[in-house]
Structures are given as structure tokens and as C-alpha cells.
A and B are shown apart, each in its own frame.
Chain A
Amino acid sequence: MKNWINVFMMIGFLMTSSVYAVKSGGPLEFKDSEQEALYNTMLYELRCTVCQNQSIADSNASLAEDLRENLYEMVINGANKEEIKKFMVDRYGEFVLYRPNFSPSNYILWIGPFVLLIVGIVVLRLNLRSRKKINRTNELSAEESDLLADYLDSKKEKE
């Protein structure tokens, strides 16, 4: 029984761990739940530029630690999502955003897959249509049935 309690406590701890994820180690205090929600979203929206495939929430790099602290201070001081993003992009470039902006240099990222899908569908349809033209009916033309009859006759004669 005691083990189960420990397990549940552990799970509970892991689920809230992002709130603890700042240098000081203690739980963070926010003015309201909106601020807390903003902090927790932004943790996963910002990339740790040292360990490039981790967000600053996931990373143990000391830079990620510093950025979490920075983020916390910005949130506490009432910065909104756009202000936080701008702060990070001004220093680290757009690469710091895990979800790239919908800007001209990123159009190919956002639209590219859909363009490919449409091209694929068009090519497939053209292909199917041309195939239909080749073999529209199952019936043989007069020429073909003559040929077939000749062939069958010749086989019979051999037997």
C-alpha cells in the first residue's frame, strides 16, 4: 500500500514538474493562473539553442535554466506572449521558436506539404484518366475477335 502512495506521489510530482523547473528549486509563485498557464506554455514553445531538439522545459543545459528564469521574470512582470517571443527572437533569431512564424521565409514550411498533396492528387487523377482511355470497354473489337477466332481454329487443327 505504501508503495502505491509513493508511486502516485511520484506521478503527481512529475506532472507538475515544469512549475519547479527553475534554478531556485522551490515552487514558483504567480499572480494568477493565467500567468502560470502562460509560463507553462512558453516553456514548451521556446527552443533551447544549445541542445537544439529540446524545449527549454526539457533541457538541463545551464542556458535553458537561465532562459527559464528570464521567462519567469517576464511573465511575473506582465509580459504577454508576443512580447516574450519578440524578446527571444531579437536575441537568438527565429530559430528559438519551436513553432515557426507564418512569415514569408517560412511559407515553404507551412504550405509546402499541402502543395505536394495537391500535386500528388492531380498527378494521380491524370494518370487514372489516361488509363481509362486505353481500356474503356471489356469487349473485343471486330478485328480482335477475328484474330482470336483464327488462333483458336489453328490450335484445334493441330490437335
Chain B
Amino acid sequence: MMNRHMIPLVVFAALLLLFWVGLGLNPKIIPSPLIGKEAPKFDLPELHNPQKRVTNEMLKGQVTLFNVFASWCVSCRAEHHLLLDLQHRGLYIIGLNYKDEKRDALNYLTQFGGDPYAMIAYDYEGDVGIEWGVYGTPETFVIDKKGIVRYKHTGPLYREVIENELIPLVRKLEQES
């Protein structure tokens, strides 16, 4: 039976629930509109070898991690050893070096333990970053074999995300034809 005096209590409980959920969300995480869509087109020089081009076509044919990084990005350093680990586990990673000086980027890779990337697109102007909706480096996208964006993680990767979300998704997508 609903008592009149219960109403404020119910309203209070509803507010409490609303705030509990609402304040628990991280406002820095913006859902990406790219998910489920084809990866944005780009055509950039390769960081190590500027004669070579890196294009969105190269995301197709295998499941790819597309990782946005820069030498000035401090939290990129935190995930760098995890990317190396992912490379050892057989994942195919393409990098996007975002608004960086070439020399700084190359130093960064040697300084922090190696180059986990199959290839690195060099986005000096940051235009390709805008196409991908990059707003907080590092960002990591999972692209399926057909070149469709399936997942995005904003901010540095960490063990839980890798083991519970990233790897299971990549293994599942690898089964798809």
C-alpha cells in the first residue's frame, strides 16, 4: 500500500539512484560515432620511411588495432609496454603519430622499449586526428577485417581492459570471414 508519507521517501530514493549512477559515469568518455562505420579515409606518410604511404586500405584484410599516440602525450608512455606485449601476442597494430615532431616520435619509440607498430601514419597537422574524432590521446580503435570500426578505448589501455574487452573482441573478430 502506498502511503502519502512514503512519497518524499520514494522521491528521495529515486534522486539518490539518479545521482549514484550519474555521478559514477565518467564525463570524459564520449561515445564514438564511428563505431559500426567504415574507418575514415586517410593517406599519410609512414613515420620511419616517408616514401611509403599509410592509408585506410591497410586497415582491411586483418583485425587491426589503430592506436593514436604522440611523444608529448604522457599517458601514452603508461600504455606503451602493453602495446609491445600485444604485439608479441600476435596483434596487428597500426599507429597514428598525432601532431608530433618526427625526431621526437622516433626518440620516444627507442626510449620506451621499442616499436610495437606494423606501420605508423605520420599526422603532423592533426587533420587525420580530426577525421577520427581524436580528443584525448592515447586512443585505441579496433578495426575488423572489412575495415569497420568496432570498438574504441579513450585514454591509456590497462590490463583489465585488454584482457576483458580488447583481446576477446579481437579473437571473436578474427573468426569472422
Contacts and interface: CB of A to CB of B under 8 A. Distances in A.
Interface of A: 49-50, 52, 62-63, 66-67, 70, 89-95
B99 A52 contact: no
A67 B31 CA distance: 19
Nearest to A67: B130
Contact of B131 (A52, A91, A93, A94): A91
Contact of A50 (B27, B40, B135): B135
A63 B132 CA distance: 13
Interface in B33-88: 33-34, 40
Given A52-B27, A62-B99, A93 B135 contact: no
B114 interface: no
Contacts of B127: 66
Nearest to A52: B27
Nearest to A70: B130
Contacts of A93: 30-33, 133
24 contacts: A49-B136, A50-B135, A50-B136, A52-B28, A62-B126, A66-B125, A66-B126, A66-B127, A66-B129, A66-B130, A70-B130, A89-B33, A91-B33, A91-B40, A91-B130, A91-B132, A91-B133, A92-B30, A92-B133, A93-B30, A93-B31, A93-B33, A94-B33, A95-B30
A92 B27 contact: no
Interface string B124-162: 011101111111100000000000000000000000000
Would you list the 4 A-B pairs with minimal beta carbon distance, nearest first? A49-B135, A91-B133, A93-B33, A92-B133
A66 B129 CA distance: 10
A63 B135 contact: yes
Interface residues of B, number: 20
A92 B99 contact: no
Contact of A90 (B28, B30, B33, B125): B33
Nearest to A65: B126
Nearest to B31: A93
Contacts of B31: 93
Given A49-B30, A52-B27, A62-B99, A92 B126 contact: no
B108 to A, nearest CB: 18
A59 to B, nearest CB: 11
Residue from the set B32, B127, B132, B135 with the largest chain A CB neighbour count within 10 Å: B135
A112 to B, nearest CB: 12
B12 to A, nearest CB: 16
A17 B28 CA distance: 29
A49 B139 CA distance: 14
A32 B136 CA distance: 35
A92 B33 contact: yes
Nearest to A49: B135
B90 to A, nearest CB: 31
Contacts of B34: 91
A89 to B, nearest CB: 7
Contacts of A62: 99, 126
